[in-house]
Amino acid sequence: MKKPIAAFALAAAFAANAGDVPSLADYPTTNIVLSAGSYTAASPGVNFVLSGAISGDVSISAADGCCVTLGEGLSMSGTLSIDGDAAVWADGGAISADGASAVSATGEIVLCGDGTATYSGGAAKTGVLSAGSVVVASGFHDVNMTFTEKKNGYGVYVGSSYLQRGGKLSIASSCTEYKDIGVTGPKKSVFSLEGGVLSIDMKGPKSCGVNMDKDSCTTSISGGQLLLSMSGAAAKGVKSDGPFVMTGGVLDATVSGDVLIEAYEGEDDAGDTLYYTCSVSSSSIVKAGTYLVQDSSKPYAVKCGSVDISGGTVRISASGVAGRGIGADGDLSVSGGYVDINVSGGVSGYLVAFEDDNCVTSCLDRVAACCIKQGSADGLASFTGGTVYLSATGASGKCISVDGTLAIGTDGSSVSPSDSSFSPDIQCTTSGAKTYVAAQKLKYYLNLGTVSSTADDPSSSVTTVSSSHVVSGSGDNVDYSNPKCVKAETGVEMHSGRLRLHSECDGGEGFESKGDMLISGGILEGVCCDDVINAGGDLSITGGWLYCGSTGNDAIDSNGAISISGGTVLAFTATNPETGIDLDDAGKFKLTGGIILSCGSATNMAVGPKSSSTTQKYYLATSASASTYAGKYLKIAGTSTYVKVPSMESPSGSISLLVSAPGCSASAPTATSSPSGTSAGFHGVYTK
């Protein structure tokens, strides 16, 4: 007789044999268990059928593995413990335990069956516990836990790996006070969802749906569905210091918990716990007083060491204050699949942050809601494929926020506006307002008192100042956090694909780099309240199709140099006094190629490419008649190219105008309502 467990129960063997699903035929010997006690499998292939009302613990010893059937009508109050490997067959039974766990095994556990099984616990810390692997193969398994101890509670705890190829596992906790975790494991454990449905509903603060919180742990989804509902403060849907890899399947997450504000905790010289406080006083702050020195923990749907999405479907809704969709401490990559994330929580207000024993600084808890966050200055966020829809509706919300370098598209790829599909295809929308906050330059506004400490736990009286009580003003007296579609701290490159941007409120920026920015290809279309493109360093455009419209600022702005050598660049603004393309020093504007239209309501502010390296001619008007050009097609002199000037808010006034194309002269363009030629399919650009 074969040993049935060897064929499928070990995670590695099961993964290698996708078609192997446990069957009761593998266990021809049936033992009926009607009462609590200890039982031994005398030979391989034993099926222990638990039946009726069993009060107490059931212990089974099975050196060669066994099957335990939770029979229809089983009502067991106690712990099921197995010494060895086991297939736990769902057939309508229920186990409720007040001990350490509902079901545990020293080896692998395979959850299977053709019916249902319910596992629940009151004081129990774990629903299903395995010293080895947990494999979900078939059946419906429902783990419902109510944790009563102030410790971590686990729905499923694995010693080495969690593998799901089928069936449905539902894990829920009704706790709202304690941290609870759906699936977790120790260092070097692995989580792999390849099929079936895993549904997790957690409510406690700092709770986690899937917690592989070690740098060597891998979390992967290649099939099936991971359904997450996280409502506790600072809850995480998937959390790991290691990599998150998604190649297929569905991740559907709802995060409704807020940021968790906590008193900063330290120790005195004797090792006793202290909670630091400080006094805050300023005429600029409406409510002065003594505040706890605070720290914060943010809610995330996915928070891992690195993120790699190449396939599958991701749907995330984060509605809590400072709610985040996907976060990576290191590199983040989206190369395929479908990603749809909406975040709606605003900033959490003004906090006081503790730095060390001698220094207390003020800062905003600038953890505004964010769809996708890459959090390392040394990391790379790359979007080379897939369809990505992102929306941030909360105050100061961000769609994509990158602390390192951002790369969009693949260098060398070609794209045309007439293409039927784009890779990547990214759409970002923000509708939240700008938030004014106290600047981090202490000398301008705050007088902080000395730090004091108390041994009393202040968690029940943590105080924050709402956003209505922070500094407002301008210049050095104020700092602020803008809503932004896409931002990167180190640098930005765009090579291919399509990026569509839209913002509705003051300060809403489109595509921002605190460092240099290179656009060599792709399609960028943005209508934003603030700058559509903003480069903190140099801006270089060598190709691509750019349509940039601002309703409240310059369309394209660079704090360094601007170099345009190719592509189509359409930039306009209706706000006075602003213009389409702006930089501080016209001598750093170099033009050697490309089709250019820049226009705005500002007069005498049009920036021309004054660099001595400029080789392509252009036409520049610093105060042109709006009625002559607004809403018209302009035939660029000396070329067969037409560009369309959008209708301006004040067509009877004056506008600034800059146009250029390869082969053009410096003469004024000819305005017409009916261009002749072939549309390039991009916002009114025509060529013969």
| Residue 301: how many other CB atoms lie within 10 Å | 29
pLDDT range class, residue 607, cuts 50, 70, 90: confident
CA-wise closest residue to 249 among 357, 125, 338? 338
pLDDT confidence of 259, banded at 50, 70, 90?
confident
Residue 143 contacts residue 116 (beta carbons within 8 Å): no
Whether residue 232 is predicted with pLDDT greater than 80 in this model: the reply is yes
Q: Higher confidence at residue 212 or residue 121?
A: 212
Give the DSSP H/E element, type plus range, for residue 12. helix 11-16
The mean per-residue pLDDT over the stretch 368-392 comes to 94
Nearest CA to 4 out of 85, 93, 111 is that of: 85
- Nearest to residue 489, comparing CAs of 516, 449, 454? 516
* DSSP category for residue 465: B
| CB of 685 closer than 8 Å to CB of 679 | yes
Per-residue pLDDT tens over the stretch 634-660: 999 999 999 999 876 555 678 889 999
* Least confident interval from 289-298, 471-480, 620-629: 471-480
When pLDDT is cut at 50, 70 and 90, the band that residue 20 belongs to is low
Q: How far is CA 235 from the centre of its chain?
A: 14
| Total residues found in the chain within this entry | 688
Phi then psi for 278, rounded to 5 degrees?
-150, 160
Residue 491: both structure tokens together = 């640098």
Cα–Cα distance for residue pair 571/595, rounded to 1 Å: 11
- Which positions ≥6 away from 154 have C-beta within 8 Å? 125, 126, 127, 129, 180, 181, 182, 183, 184
pLDDT of 606 > 50? The answer is yes
Q: Given this model, what pLDDT does residue 680 score? A: 78
Helix (H) or strand (E) holding 5: helix 4-8
Residues 634 and 597 sit within 8 Å (Cβ to Cβ):
yes
Selected residue with higher pLDDT from 100 and 390: 390
Is residue 92 helix, strand or coil?
coil
What is the Cα–Cα distance from 65 to 154, expressed in whole angstroms?
Answer: 25
Return d(Cα 185, Cα 189) in angstroms, integer: 6
Secondary element (H or E) of residue 629: helix 626-629
What residues contact 334, with CB distance under 8 A and at least 6 apart?
Answer: 309, 310, 382, 383, 384, 385, 386, 388, 424
- DSSP letter for 13, please: H
Lowest mean pLDDT among 397-406, 581-590, 644-653: 644-653
pLDDT at 6: 34
Instruction: Identify the pLDDT of residue 302.
Output: 97
475 CB-contact burial (10 Å; exposed 0-12 / middle 13-18 / buried 19+)? exposed
Tell me: pLDDT of 577 over 70: yes
pLDDT of residue 400: 97
4: phi then psi, degrees, rounded to nearest 5:
-60, -30
Q: How confident is the model at residue 365 (pLDDT cuts 50, 70, 90)?
A: very low
Q: What is the DSSP-derived secondary structure letter of residue 24?
A: G
Closest CA to 639 of 587, 584, 597: 597
pLDDT of 150 > 50? The answer is yes
pLDDT grade for 87, boundaries at 50, 70 and 90? very high
Which helix (H) or strand (E) segment holds residue 389: the answer is: strand 380-392
Residue 124: what pLDDT? Answer: 60
Provide the 8-state DSSP code for 468. G
Cβ count within 10 A of residue 302: 29
pLDDT for 18: 38
Checking if the pLDDT of 394 tops 90, the result is no
Question: What separation in angstroms does the CA of 57 have from each of 41, 106, 523, 603?
Answer: 17, 16, 65, 85
Hey, what are 501's tokens? 């941007």
pLDDT tops 70 at residue 439: no
Residue 239's pLDDT band (boundaries 50, 70, 90)?
very high
Round to whole Å and give the CA distance between 22 and 87: 7
- Bigger pLDDT: 25 or 451? 25
pLDDT bin (cut points 50, 70, 90) of residue 315 is very high
Give the pTM.
0.88
Among 28-42, 330-344, 428-442, 600-614, whose mean pLDDT is lowest?
428-442
- The burial of 566, by beta-carbon neighbours within 10 Å (0-12 exposed, 13-18 middle, 19 or more buried), is given as middle
Q: Which of 175-184, 302-311, 544-553 has the least mean pLDDT?
A: 175-184
CA dihedral 422, 425, 431, 433 (to 10 degrees): -120
pLDDT at residue number 264: 52
**pLDDT for the residue 479:** 52
On whether the CB atoms of residues 331 and 268 are closer than 8 A, the answer is: no
pLDDT above 80 for 568: yes
Closest by CA position to 181, among listed 221, 225, 127, 258: 127
For the stretch 533-552, pLDDT in tens is: 999 999 999 999 999 999 88
The pLDDT value given to residue 257: 83
- Cα dihedral 222, 415, 567, 549 sign: negative
pLDDT digits (tens, 9 = 90+) for 491-516: 999 999 999 999 988 888 999 999 99
Taking every pair of C-alpha atoms in the chain, what is the biggest distance, in angstroms? Answer: 99
Closest CA to 128 of 59, 184, 180: 184
What six digits make up the tokens of 311?
Answer: 């396939």
Single-letter amino acid code for the residue at 237: G
Q: Tell whether the model's pLDDT for residue 661 goes beyond 70.
A: yes
Quote the percentage of the chain above a pLDDT of 90. 58
Q: Which two tokens stand for residue 113?
A: 């069956």
Q: Which residues does residue 598 pair with via DSSP β-bridges, in sequence order? A: 571, 658
Contact predicate 203/232, CB 8 Å = yes
Report the distance separating Cα 594 and Cα 611, nearest Å: 16
Q: Does the N-terminal peptide bond of residue 424 adopt cis geometry, omega within 30 degrees of 0?
A: yes
For residue 410, give both structure tokens: 């693949």
The string of DSSP codes covering 156-222 is: EEESSEEEEEEEEEEEEE--SSS-EEEEE--TT-EEEEEEEEEEEEE-STT-EEEEE-STT-EEEEE
- Measure the CA–CA gap between 533 and 518, rounded to whole angstroms: 11
| pLDDT reading at 295 higher than 90 | no
How far apart CA 395 and CA 481 sit, in angstroms, is: 9
The answer on pLDDT for 213 being more than 80 is no
Task: Tell me which amino acid residue 642 is.
Answer: Y
Question: 220-224, 251-255, 268-272, 568-572: which range is least confident on average?
Answer: 268-272
**Residue 672: which pLDDT band, with cuts at 50, 70 and 90?**
very high
Q: Which residues contact 527 (CB under 8 A, 6 or more apart)?
A: 501, 502, 549, 550, 551
Contact (Cβ atoms closer than 8 angstroms) between residue 509 and residue 460: no
Burial of 473 (0-12, 13-18, 19+ CB in 10 A): middle
Residue pair 183/156 in contact (Cβ under 8 Å)? The answer is yes
pLDDT digits (tens, 9 = 90+) for 152-164: 788 999 999 999 9
Q: What is the pLDDT of residue 432?
A: 82
Please count the other Cβ atoms lying within 10 Å of the Cβ belonging to residue 459. Answer: 12
Would you state the pLDDT for residue 601? Answer: 77
Whether 1 shows a pLDDT value over 50: the answer reads: no
d(CA 231, CA 229): 7
User: What pLDDT is attached to residue 41?
Assistant: 94
Paired tokens of 597: 């239209």
Q: What is the mean pLDDT of residues 43-48?
A: 94
Cis status of the peptide bond prior to 205, with omega within 30 of 0: no
Query: Residue 296 — very low, low, confident or very high, per pLDDT cuts 50/70/90?
Result: low
CA atoms of 657 and 670, how far apart (whole Å): 13
- What is the share, in percent, of the chain residues with pLDDT greater than 70? 80
Mean pLDDT of 86-102: 91
The answer to whether residue 294 scores a pLDDT higher than 60 is: no
Look over the chain and give the mean of its residue pLDDT values, rounded to a whole number: 83
Contacts of 195 (CB under 8 A, 6+ apart): 164, 165, 166, 223, 224
Phi, psi for residue 628 in degrees, rounded to 5: -75, -35
Closest Cα to residue 423, out of 346, 523, 329?
A: 523
Residue 344 has pLDDT above 80, yes or no: yes
Q: Per mean pLDDT, which range of 182-186, 412-416, 425-429 is the poorest? A: 412-416
Closest to 366 in 3D by CA, of 355, 351, 380: 351
211-220, 309-318, 440-449 — most confident range: 309-318
Q: What is the pLDDT of residue 363?
A: 42
